[in-house]
Amino acid sequence: MKTRPLIFDAHLDLAMNALEWNRDLTRPLTELRASEAGKKDKPDRANGTVSLPEMRQGGVGLCVATLIARVEHNAYSPVAGWRSQAQAWAQTQGQLAWYRAMEETGEMVQIRDAAGLEKHLALWNSASATDKTPIGFVLSLEGADSVLSLDHLARARAQGLSAIGPAHYGPGVCANGTDASGGFNAKGRELVKAMDRLGFILDVTHLCDDCFWEALDFFHGPVWASHQNCRTLVPHGRQFSDDQFKALFARGAVIGAALDAWMLVPGWVRGKTTPQSANLTLERFVDHIDHVCQLAGSSQHAGIGSDLDGAFGCEQTPADLNTIADLAKVPALLAARGYTAEDVDGIMHGNFISFLQRIWK
């Protein structure tokens, strides 16, 4: 029996969009865009690319879904944050409540372990392409600013939190992220070591170079980079160098390629450059996937972590991507470059699934 197409997207800020952007993600995307016409409070209003129906349309049946709430730092605040850790913690708990509401209505289902993963895969493959199959999600925390204490960390683990990226943009409570420098502080080291003991996945995405190398030294558990592109192709600290990728390959990591335009082509200026003026198409996205595969010598470490609607919309994605459903165009682009059907399946879903099966065995 031919299985239903499946895409595993390793990074989607679904709850952030639902609560901070006030988007009812159960509704059709055309309706969401129409409801935002003329609004200017967010940079991507009326340009959203993600809704749950659109995910099903494109076969995105599994994802890593985030909790995200950074603390505002006076020295660096290009990304909005909260004034205290307590507020950030409360925000993530509100986001968790949204995921629970989605589970209660049958829209989504949280994947916490190998048994849950296998059950969801069986459900997805047995369902028709038109039904309302719940979307499976693995819960991740982007930036650890909201973790008030190690007791809160353990509480989050009990809630089913599976992965944590210690940093986001700039200096954080525990670690330094994009556009910052310096290693972990004492609280951050304690956090990462506790993550190791509690069985978390370490998401190295957004870690500055200093923190990246430190983390690999004192964290011994499973590591991935949920949404990360290549510095060789786009020279900026947000991307990883080839040496960093090689270190991740040695740890068995999978790297999810992201779709934010400024991470795909050099020289992008937010609000000025357009996908058309930059000649940006999904081929450039595939360039980053291909670079990882060529560097690794196989396709086994490559995946997708789209980051779609991560505070940007179709104004800042490839010109031939209108919605998340257009991820379904990627397999043909990979095949045209000589990737086998097995390679393509691995990149589209199999590599991240195998990673989870291995660590949850």
CATH number at residue 316: 3.20.20.140
Ranges of residues in the chain with a pLDDT under 70 are 1-3, 74-79, 127-130
The amino acid at 324: I
The predicted-structure confidence for 119-166, as pLDDT tens digits, reads as follows: 999 999 886 645 789 999 999 999 999 999 999 999 999 999 999 999
Q: What are phi and psi of 343, to 5 degrees?
A: -60, -50
* Diameter over CA atoms, the chain: 57
Distance separating alpha carbons of residues 125 and 129, to the nearest angstrom = 9
166 contacts 144 by C-beta, under 8 angstroms: yes
Q: Is residue 227 part of a domain?
A: yes
- The pTM of this model reads 0.97
Q: What is the pLDDT of residues 28-86, one digit of tens each?
A: 999 999 999 999 999 999 999 999 999 999 999 999 999 999 998 755 555 678 999 99
Question: Does the residue 82 lie in any domain?
Answer: yes
Is there a domain that residue 1 lies in?
Answer: no
Let me know if residue 260 belongs to a domain: yes
Q: Does a structural domain hold residue 2? A: no
> Domain total for the chain?
1
Q: How many other CB atoms are found less than 10 A from the CB of residue 233?
A: 16
Chain position carrying tokens 């257009």: 326
- Domain presence at residue 3: no
The answer to the question of residue 216 being in a domain is yes
Q: Among candidates 54, 80, 205, 44, which has minimal Cα distance to 140? A: 205
DSSP state of 225: B
pLDDT at 75: 52
Q: What is the DSSP letter of 193?
A: H
Closest CA to 159 of 87, 224, 94: 94
Tell me how crowded residue 251 is: count the other CB atoms within 10 A of its CB: 16
Domain span at residue 151 reads 8-359
- Using DSSP, how many helices (H) and how many strands (E) does the chain show? 13, 9
